[in-house]
């Protein structure tokens, strides 16, 4: 029920009410940071994190959120880069805060590292959480008929 309560609070904010799918996903990701651990190894490729050197790499959380946003909105990497500049919702969902938006090359580099198996685990985890909260029943699915 905590998810549902947080979701209700999210919808009270005008911006999130315009995109309920992103609001639900954002709430699930905020409450379950363990989801990021499922893909962390893929994204970092086993590299140890460091506070030294360039700080222009997106965090694992930002990469996962950008990948989800990209797929939900059916964007290319270049369109994702543009959306960060143009859409307040995009920058809020990706959690850019006051950071400069990342280039399409950076996102392509890190999002493409996520393996199909890891992505499958993330999607199953998100769906289980949504089903457990009664937000999704998985009885119907939207498909492209083209």
Token pair 């990342």: residue: 102
Residues 6+ apart with CB under 8 A from 118: 38, 39, 41, 42
pLDDT (tens digit per residue) in 1-57: 566 666 666 656 667 777 888 888 888 888 888 988 888 888 887 665 555 545 567
* 35 and 64 Cβ atoms separated by less than 8 Å: yes
Q: Where is pLDDT greater, at 119 or 7?
A: 119
CA 80 to chain centre: 12
Q: Where is pLDDT greater, at 104 or 45?
A: 104
What pTM, to 2 d.p., does this model score? 0.77
pLDDT (tens digit per residue) in 92-102: 899 888 778 88
Average pLDDT in the 83-94 region? 89
Quick one: 101 exposed, middle or buried, by C-beta within 10 A (0-12, 13-18, 19+)? buried
CA distance 78 to 93: 17
């Amino acid at each position: 029920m905590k998810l549902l309560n947080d979701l209700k609070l999210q919808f009270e904010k005008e911006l999130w009410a315009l995109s309920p799918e992103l609001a639900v996903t954002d709430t699930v990701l905020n409450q379950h940071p363990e989801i990021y651990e499922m893909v962390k190894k893929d994204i970092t490729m086993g590299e140890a994190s460091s506070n030294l050197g360039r700080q222009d790499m997106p965090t694992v959380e930002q990469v996962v959120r950008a990948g989800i946003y990209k797929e939900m909105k059916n964007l290319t990497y270049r369109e994702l880069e543009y959306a960060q500049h143009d859409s307040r919702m995009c920058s809020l969902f990706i959690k850019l805060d006051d950071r400069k938006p990342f280039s399409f090359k950076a996102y392509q580099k890190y999002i493409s590292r996520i393996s199909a198996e890891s992505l499958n685990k993330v999607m199953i985890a998100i769906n289980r959480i949504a089903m457990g909260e009664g937000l999704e029943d998985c009885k119907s699915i939207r498909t492209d008929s083209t």
